[in-house]
Each structure stands twice: as C-alpha cells, then as structure tokens.
Chain A
C-alpha cells in the first residue's frame, strides 16, 4: 500500500478529474479520489470546490472512507456553511448507529464543524450521547460539550449541558470522569466568576479515586484540576498530598510534574514543624532528579520548572548539585538551563566542585554557553565569599587564554566583584589593562572604563587610557559614552591638575556634539556641579556605592508564587504569567498560592504568626529584562513585598493615579497618609477634581454626613467558644474614620479584666498589583472597668488602614484575637467592603469616561441585584451616603443608567454602571476596576446598601 503517490499529482485540470472520480460508481475509485483530495488539502491546496462531491461520498459503509470525508468536512464546512447542512442528516443518523465507535465518531466530528446552523442540530444527538450506555461514547460526548461551548457558550448553558457534564464527574468509568474534568476546567476558565467546578471535599474524593484508575492523560487532567482547589485547612491539604504522592513514581513526566504542582501548592498550607512536611520535602527530590533522564525536550521543561522550585524551596534540591552537571552531548538549551540551576544551588559546601565544573565549561565550543559559564564564575564569587579568591584567580586564568569573548565576559564580572569586595582584588587591574585593545563589545568596554575611572588613582596612565577611548567617542554606544563621561569626571576629581583638558573635551563632546538627551543632561549636570561647587561634585560623583546584591535574576516573589501555581505549563517554561502570551480572556485568571491556615498557627499570636521570611532576609530582586517586559502592566514591580506597608502603598497609589485621576489623588493621597482618625471633610475632593462634573453632579453634598450604612451587630464570638465572653459587633464608617463597634458581654461567673485586641494582617495579593487593606486597630481596646458577670459594655474601636498586610482569602476576611485575663480567643469575621470607600471617591466625568475605556474589558464584571425596588434617585442618594458617588445619569430606552465611582482606602478606583428599569425590581450592576478581585466584594456592598 503506497499512499505517497497522492502527493505527487500537480497537473492542471486536476479538480475536474477529481470531480469525475468522486462521482464514479466504483467504490475503490471513490476512495482513491477522496484520498487525493485529502493529500492536496494537507499540502495547502484549495480543494473547497469539491465540497458537494465529497459530501456525497459520506453515506457509506466503509469506515475508512467515512473518516476521510469527515476530515474534509471539518476543514471546509466553515467556508461552505450552506452546503454543510447537507451532511447533518448523516450525522444524526450515525449518532443512532448500533456501533458505539460510529456513534462516537459522529458526535466527535459534529463538534468540530463550526457552523451555527449545524450546532443547533447537534444538541439532541449530543444529549443522547452524554447518557449513552457505552463509556466510549460518553467520554467523546464530554469533550464535545467543550467544543460546543467554544462555538456557542450561551447555547450550552441554555441546553443544560453543563449540569449533565457535572454529573459525569461521578461516572463509573474513569476515562469519562477525566474527560469531563478536562472539559469543565476549560469551560470554567472562560467563566472565572462562575462556580462551575464546584470543588468540595466530596468531589475531590471522587477525583482522587478516579486518579488511581484512569489513563496517564486522564491523571494529568485530574491533577491539573486538583491544583485549583483550595483545601479548607491543613489537615485536608495533607490528606490530599498523601493521596497524590504515589503519582511521583509514574513513568509519564507530565503526571509527575502535575503532581509536583499540587504538592508544592498545598505544602504552603502545612506547618513547617509537621513531620509530614519534612517527609514531603524528601519525597520531592528524587522524582525531580529522575526527570533529568527523560528526553531532552522534556528535560528542558523540567529544568525550567526546577529553576522555579529551587527559588521557592531551595531546601528540596540543595544536595543534588551533581545531577545538574552538564554533559558533553546535552543540547545547548539543556546546558544553559543546568548552568542556571547550578549557580542557584552553589553554596559554601559545594563551591569547589562547582568552580571546577565551570572552569571546564569555559573551554567549550558554544559561545553563549561559554559566556554564561564565565559569568557564573563571577556570580559564585559574589555569592560565596569564601570562594571569591579562587574565582578571581580562575577568571584571570581565563583572561590569559586571550579568547576574545571570554576575556570580555570576564572583565564584566570582575567589575561586579570589585564592587562587592572593595579594596581586595585591585591588584589584578594591571592584567585587565593589558587586554584593553581586544574589547569590542559595549558592555565590556563600559566595564573596563568604569574600572579605570573608579581606580584612577592607582592606575598611572589612567588619563592616557581614557583618552584613547575618547578618540572615537561618537562611534561608541550610549552605554560606553555615559560611562566614559563619568569615568573622566571621576578622574578629574581625583587628579585635577593634569586632566583639566581631558574633562573639558569630554564635557563639550557630551553636551554640544551629541544628540542623545541622556548624555547631554548628564554632561550638563557634571559641568554645573564642577563649575559651581567642586566639593559637592566630589560628594556626588565619588559617593560611596551601595553594595550589590548576592542573587541576581531572581524572579519577583509574587510572580514566582503565581508561576508555582502553573508548574508544568507553558507559563512555567517561559517564566511569564499566562496573560503575557495568551490572547483574550482565557487563562488570565490569576492564581496565587494558598495562605497558611489559621489552625496550624493558632498557638501563636496572629500578629507574628504567618511570616514567610523576615523582611531583612528578603533578597533584593533585580528582575531580568524579560520579566520586565512581561510585566509592563503590573506597575509596582519595584518594591519588594516586605517593604514598609505605608511606603509600598503610596507607591502603588501613584501608579494607579497615573491611569486614574490626576488631581483627585493629591487630596486622596493626603487622606491616605493622614491618621485615619482625623476626619476629612466628606466632599472636599469633588470641587477640585472636577469643574465640569458639577453640572452633572446630582446630589453632592447631600446626606454625606450621615455616614455609611451600618449593619446590625452580629455575634462574632459565641460565649461557648470563649469561656463565657461573648462578642458581637459591626463595622461603621463615619466621616472618614472607620471603627469597629463591639459589644462585650460577660456570661461567665468571674470578673474579666485586661482586655486587648489584635488583628491578623489582611490583604489580597495578586500578581504584583496588590489590593491590600491593612486594617489595624488605631487605638488599644479600652475597657476601663472590669467586666463583672452578666455585664455588657459597648466599645467603639477606631481602625486605621495602614496596618501591615498579609494574604487573606476572601480579601475582606479579618482575623481577630482578643485577650483577657482568662485566655486568648480567636475569631474571624468578614467586614463589608463599603467601610473602605473613601469620601473623595467622586471622579471627574471626563476622567470617568477615559478610565472606563482604559480598563480592559476582561476586568469588567456584571452582577444582578434582585428585589431592589428603588428608583434611580433613591438609589443614588442611598449609595452616596456610603461614599458611592453618581458621576452622571442617563436615560436610555426607558432605563435609568447611573454611572458611579468609588475609591478604596488604598487608592484603587472602582467604576460602576447601575442599570435600573422602572417597574422591574432587579437591576444590573457592571463593575470595572484594575484590581478585578475586589469586584465581587463591591457588588456585595452594593447589595447590602441598596437593600437596607
């Protein structure tokens, strides 16, 4: 059987011949003709003209022929929708065929035909197939629901297929379960808010059972789905981990990596003191090492992931340095990745081995690899102080080889070593200077110039050296020009007498003959400094430099956490969040690691309990160029999370304001930084921010003083749980200050004294852009008299929003510890978000329009508020008293549209469109915000306010 002949027909009039053959009476001839058509299709020829003739062949007993015709249909149905209808009958008939393979084939193919008219006919057969007696048909139908959803999501919902699909999760056949999970996960991704994959302990249990029975691919689907689950406490997390660990011995690397993902994620919830935590760490290392004996492409995927894992939990692989040694025959992409991990694992214990390896690599053939190896030696010197000496001598040996790019790379890293260990290795400068002529790359030239300038006083002929560079000043790259300018000014400040001419020359070159504004500016600054105050110039130019950090190229911690949630996927290969390379709304849902649960920490005070690394240990992060590009939208890359909350917040607010409203932020900013107890007049912001908006301003200044809606007090801590102390409370916001109104009742038989209160730090973290509300008590809890049995006191505790922060789920969760003379009690409560709506949350109308357009549509969330029979005016004034301001109002086709804005204490703006239909009790709320995770809570606030 040789089908290759079909690829060779290229003569003219081919289509006519094929047409004749397709209509032939002979079955064999027909089949041959269809094969030719498919072959032409494969190589990219347009054979759509044959559509009716091919479809005519569909009615056949020959399964092979049928499959070929289906293949053709999938390719061309879209371009010929009317004719595609001709095929529908056959599909519907095939879905009833006694042979399950044919039923499945029909339903599988129908789902691939993206023609609206056909999808309507698909619904009935699909419904039957979802309940088919044969598992093969059911598993195919499950995937078909995902296909249909991709074509017409509304149809799938209307037809109730989602519920049927959910039922399939409990199917008796593991493969049906796996495909249903895959389909549901995909559908859920495009509906981030819906609770499609209603994961709860029961359904998780079902999935874990199916995990043991289904195919390798099914196991991957299930594990990837499990990774999205958030266990309710550490015990549940542990029990899931226990059932997932056997997967680490699977032969399929993807199963192993997905299992690693689940474990890495749930491990976050386990206390480090648990024995199990240690066991789990030990179990993770061997499978990761085994991945390195897979095929090279998989090794690459594994190494990119290990790179993340090593950054997140260095302890897992710290003894496995040797397995990352580069093999001579490794493909270059594997070599480069291994090298990266070697540097990360380098420590005092293994540095000798690592250095010996690196020296070996520096003599290899591949230029990129050699450069990286040389650079790695420099990094080792900076990372492991004890090895610095050996590293420097290794680098000097390498410089002696005179291989051009090795020398240049070595000089670049030696510059860093000089900065890290000042006054230690300067003796090698002479050797470096010998290689001046061979430097032709800007980075190396700039490094060399920096060295000459920095150590000008020790290099006798520094002026000559720099002068030689100056000759071709205009041909140099900007990097070199800037460095040369600075170096000569340094030289001048150190040896003013003999270099006057030189400095004049460089200053005039930089300021008069250059087109580069950066260069000109720097030139002018130096010039003025030198001419007005040489002492100041000395202080500025020769200032002591900050130390450089030990670790470079670390991934920013929040990004790292997100990437850990994507282990095994493309995101972990690119080291970028999916939003950086996936189009549209899919996969843009941010993932974050689960927080440590309270139960494991309850022995400690909540204030100190959940800390990762103390701020001092947090490494300074220098994001690599690539990361920066991926993160252009996430504005607060700079400050590490551990920074003081006040500073971080204001930086972040600035970033939001850049996009939000310029003027408002001036007032907003002061409000934010000022102690929150000081009342800021309610609508102070509005008049400054908006001249125009006053025209549309309906109710500004009305009713704002009455304060936000206050919910009735609820019992937060029942007496049963707190040895007789009952606490009920609520939150209020009155003219700019937030307070927690508490009612303490003593239901015990003894007197209670010494009350104190503390909050767990709360925040929601999301990919660098942080929605955080650091609520904290602004004053101690003041219960003056001892509380005698059966007595009740009411206290109002002022709150500030500048407390330190940590992740909370949900984000308005507040964990509170109350202490009295008897014990410490913990409870948690959800605070309504509207207490965080500030008084100057009114946005200028034009700003509103611009901002609304500017926020991407993915961030828009829509909600229904039912049973709210208010008219527009009433709603508007009701909302205004809780600091939700109406910017404009419009009437469109009998509906009232209210455009509203509000601002949270941390400077995040939320824009809203409230659609009210007179006579209809439910209204529609659309919210747009740059931090979409708050939308859900804003909606809840709306609902509470409007209904009370």
Chain B
C-alpha cells in the first residue's frame, strides 16, 4: 500500500510529507526531488522506480504530489487517490497552490490522517469529511451528532447525511458533452467520439430516491418490445420526430448509483449527494452531430512563404447559436510575419504560441466563414520539414452533439410530504469542443 505522500513546490522543496509505512525513509523525499523534479530530461513516465522504491506523481499547476511505495500496490488506485486528494483539497481551500498549501498545512495533515490509514484509502467524500474535519475542534458535538458522523463516514450512503431540509425542492441537470474529432485534410473522419457528463445539482429534502431516464437505445427498444400494442402508436410519433434514441458505447456512474440494478434492468436509480456531483459519464461514437467542419488549404509558395486558407462551416439548426468559437492555425517556428484577412470575428498572429488565433463570438447554424493568411518565413538550413500540427478548434453549442435527451428524473421521498410534481427541475444541454482537430 501507499507508504508515504509528499507534496513539493516547483523548486522541489517539501511542503507536506506524511509517511505511513516504516519502509519509507526520509531519503525517499530527496530521491524523488533529484531524479524527477530536478531531472534534466522531461519526465517520461508518471511512475518512476528509484532503487526499488516506486514513485507515483501528478502535477497540479506548479505543485507536485507524489505517492511512494515499496510494495506491489494497485497502481490505478494510487492515481485515483491522488486525484481525489486534489479534489478534497480544492473543496476545502480552493486552488492548489504553494501559497494555499502552506496556509493550510495543518488541515492537510489532518485530512491525510483521515483519508489514508496505513496507506489504505478511507472515505474521501468531501461531503462527509466536512462534517467533522472543520479545523474548529469537535468537542462541542452532542452524542447523537457524533454517532451520526461516524455512521455517515462508514455507512452505506456515505455521501449523504440525514435530516437535510429545503423549503423549495429543486434540482438542476446539466448535460455537458465534449465532442472530439480527428479529421484528415480531405475531410474524412479518422476518429470521432463524444464524452459526456451528466452533472446534477440537487437541493432536495430528506433521503430522496431518484430515477433517471434518457433516450438510451437499449431501454427504448426494450420498452418497445414490452407493450407492443400501446407503443405502436407512439412509435409512429417517434419516427416523425427523427432520431429518438442513441447508442451509448459505455457509461460509468457516481458511486451513489446502484450498479447491479443498472446491470440487470438498465435503470439508473440512486440517492443523490446533497449539492453538486457528477451523476454519470458516457461515451458515444455513432451518429454524432459534428457542429463544425473545418476545411484547410495550405500552400507552400517557395521556401519563404506559406498561404493558408481555412473555411469553417456550422452544421446545426439555423435557430441555434454557437458561442466562443476559436480556430487555432499553427504556424512554423521560423515565421517572420503574418497578414490575415477574415470575414468575421477577429484574427491575430500570436508569435509566442506559434499560431494564428481566430475568434468569433457567435455564429448561427448552417453558416460559413473564411480566413486567409500569408505567412512569411525566414530562410533556415534546418533540413527537417515543418511537422504541420493539426488545426484545432474550440466552441460551445446549446445542444448535445451525441443526441442524448433526458426523458425524466423522478424523485420519491416516502417519508416526507413532497412528491415528484413538487420538485422544480431544470435541464440544460451544453456541447463543447474537446480535441477537435483537422489535419492540414
């Protein structure tokens, strides 16, 4: 198991060092600094073995977090733990920076003592931790409060405490998708997928039992089979409104979702944590709506000049508006000057980033726009050709490129007197670009 956990600043100075196992000595702290942080070469692996000691590290801005062990630990678990550790720290004091870590080192030690025991990760849900790691001392609690804390930390529903009350029962569902694309210069889709998240903000009283439904192909087809007569009419209606269900390649759920139930009935039921959490993640590859198409044209005119023309076309309903559009056209390292002309938005050559950045605030569906640029090059005797990195794009659209639709989210709280109808529900769809690249 994890033998020790160290946090360093960018210079390699130790900010936090907590050792859990006897086989990890003080020299391990230095070994990591010398061999990884101060290493001359770029780090080639997130796992490093130095003198039979293994170091796992992740970096958050300038801060290095390293877990150390001498045993054959579960490597995936160690990384998951390090990420979780970052989440917990962020939930307590915001951004993970040297300043914040130094300011909160006592708190961090307290957290490390609680969420890692002898190197075994323990309950690390911020909701539960915040009930008893408060930096105020807990002497004032009553006996009931204490046992409530312990039963929540160790309980089956470790992510929610009992007795939550809201005057207004309300919930927000955000379907956040990032659409990824790799396209060849000729416009052929090399790979495309959507990775989506359903984020829920719940402000519900009591211990509500929730059931979430979406237009999952498997569920819809199963229902179709179940009641053939009744659904035949509905089917007709469905066909008339176009694509109704989507094929989900794979999905993962927050630990509150009953996985065995999903496995057997494909229904998503859970008792949600209070406040914001990520209910599920999913991935689709079929029938993706690609909101934009990028058509590049790069021409080398002699050895010292490049001509670039890029056309972007929006491909969705004209009534919808895409926002925050940004096209990034890479330029060679030996660029000396750039002239740009664009039809819409603003374009600038950014020498420090070796790219032309073209920004458009808004763009409606089924439109097209174009930029052309002349790039002057300094003559070099470098034999190596320019690698021509792909043209990348950023945007935000108000629909889900995968086609996912929320069908329902039902809430049942048998003990309290509010029903599903009393809950105010909000649903929002946001599609963003992930890695959206076109080779040129």
- Chain A positions within 8 Å of B, measured between CB atoms, are 1-4, 6-7, 35, 38-39, 42-44, 61-64, 67-68, 70-71, 75, 98-101, 104, 108, 111-112, 114, 134-137, 139-140, 143-144, 146-147, 150, 173-176, 179, 182, 186, 212-217, 220-221, 224, 243, 245-247, 249-254, 256-258, 286-287, 289-290, 293, 295-298, 300-302, 322-323, 325, 327-329, 332-333, 353, 356-357, 360, 363-365, 401-403, 566, 568-574, 578, 581-583, 586-587
Interchain CB contact under 8 A, A325 and B182: yes
Interchain CB contact under 8 A, A581 and B49: yes
Residue of A nearest to B98 (CB): A4
Binds A, one of B39-47, B160-168, B227-235: B39-47
Interchain CB contact under 8 A, B80 and A360: no
Query: 7 A–B contact pairs at CB < 8 A?
Result: A61-B137, A67-B110, A101-B138, A179-B120, A289-B283, A290-B250, A332-B42
Residue of B nearest to A587 (CB): B72
Interchain CB contact under 8 A, B260 and A212: yes
- How distant is A161 from chain B, measured CB to nearest CB, in Å? 15
Q: How far is the CA of A137 from the CA of B278 in the complex (A)?
A: 30
With A140-B117, A249-B253 already in contact, the answer to whether A64 and B110 are too (CB < 8 A) is: yes
Q: How far is the CA of A67 from the CA of B107 in the complex (A)?
A: 10
- Listed residue (B77, B251, B281) with the most chain A CB atoms within 10 angstroms of its CB: B77
Interchain CB contact under 8 A, B120 and A287: no
With A3-B105, A212-B259, A251-B281 already in contact, the answer to whether A566 and B254 are too (CB < 8 A) is: no
Asked if B304 lies at the interface with its beta carbon under 8 angstroms from chain A, I say no
Chain A hits for B82, CB < 8 A: 297
Interchain CB contact under 8 A, A582 and B52: yes
- Listed residue (B71, B149, B156, B262) with the most chain A CB atoms within 10 angstroms of its CB: B71
Main secondary structure of the interface of B (DSSP, over half): mixed
Residue of B nearest to A75 (CB): B19
Chain A hits for B1, CB < 8 A: 182, 186
| Interface mask (B246-260 → A, CB under 8 Å = 1, otherwise 0) | 000111111100111
With A38-B106, A64-B110, A286-B249 already in contact, the answer to whether A249 and B259 are too (CB < 8 A) is: yes
User: Which residue of the partner chain, among B75, B103, B139, contacts A572 with CB atoms under 8 Å?
Assistant: B75
Interchain CB contact under 8 A, B113 and A67: yes
Asked if B29 lies at the interface with its beta carbon under 8 angstroms from chain A, I say yes
Number of interface residues of B (CB under 8 A): 106
- How distant is B218 from chain A, measured CB to nearest CB, in Å? 13
- How distant is A6 from chain B, measured CB to nearest CB, in Å? 8
Q: How far is the CA of A103 from the CA of B125 in the complex (A)?
A: 22
Binds A, one of B200-208, B314-322, B345-353, B379-387: B379-387
Binds A, one of B8-16, B398-406, B408-416: B8-16
Asked if B58 lies at the interface with its beta carbon under 8 angstroms from chain A, I say yes
With A186-B1, A295-B79 already in contact, the answer to whether A360 and B42 are too (CB < 8 A) is: no
- How distant is A406 from chain B, measured CB to nearest CB, in Å? 9
With A3-B106, A568-B74, A569-B74 already in contact, the answer to whether A323 and B42 are too (CB < 8 A) is: no
Residue of B nearest to A302 (CB): B76
With A44-B14, A186-B1 already in contact, the answer to whether A363 and B387 are too (CB < 8 A) is: yes
- How distant is A373 from chain B, measured CB to nearest CB, in Å? 12
User: Which residue of the partner chain, among B22, B42, B77, B193, contacts A568 with CB atoms under 8 Å?
Assistant: B77
- How distant is A306 from chain B, measured CB to nearest CB, in Å? 12
Asked if B83 lies at the interface with its beta carbon under 8 angstroms from chain A, I say yes
Chain B hits for A114, CB < 8 A: 22
- Listed residue (A108, A243, A569, A587) with the most chain B CB atoms within 10 angstroms of its CB: A569
Interchain CB contact under 8 A, A250 and B154: no
| Interface mask (B1-38 → A, CB under 8 Å = 1, otherwise 0) | 10000000000011111011111001001000000000
With A3-B105, A247-B259, A301-B75 already in contact, the answer to whether A173 and B154 are too (CB < 8 A) is: yes
Asked if B439 lies at the interface with its beta carbon under 8 angstroms from chain A, I say yes
Chain A hits for B80, CB < 8 A: 216, 252-254, 298
User: Which residue of the partner chain, among B16, B76, B118, contacts A254 with CB atoms under 8 Å?
Assistant: B76
User: Which residue of the partner chain, among A2, A3, A300, A353, contacts B46 with CB atoms under 8 Å?
Assistant: A300
Chain B residues 68-90 with CB under 8 Å of chain A are 69-77, 79-83
Interchain CB contact under 8 A, A68 and B106: yes
Asked if B361 lies at the interface with its beta carbon under 8 angstroms from chain A, I say no
Interchain CB contact under 8 A, A363 and B109: no
Interchain CB contact under 8 A, B73 and A570: yes
User: Which residue of the partner chain, among B47, B69, B74, B156, contacts A224 with CB atoms under 8 Å?
Assistant: B74
Interchain CB contact under 8 A, B249 and A328: no
Interchain CB contact under 8 A, A174 and B70: no
Interchain CB contact under 8 A, A101 and B150: yes
Chain B hits for A570, CB < 8 A: 47, 54, 69, 71-73, 75
User: Which residue of the partner chain, among B44, B79, B141, B254, contacts A301 with CB atoms under 8 Å?
Assistant: B79
Interchain CB contact under 8 A, A290 and B283: yes
Chain A hits for B191, CB < 8 A: 322-323, 325
- How distant is B322 from chain A, measured CB to nearest CB, in Å? 22
Chain A hits for B125, CB < 8 A: 215
- How distant is B347 from chain A, measured CB to nearest CB, in Å? 21
With A251-B278, A403-B384, A571-B72 already in contact, the answer to whether A297 and B259 are too (CB < 8 A) is: no
Residue of B nearest to A214 (CB): B156
| Interface mask (B421-440 → A, CB under 8 Å = 1, otherwise 0) | 00000000000000101010
Asked if B123 lies at the interface with its beta carbon under 8 angstroms from chain A, I say yes
Residue of B nearest to A404 (CB): B383
- How distant is A256 from chain B, measured CB to nearest CB, in Å? 7
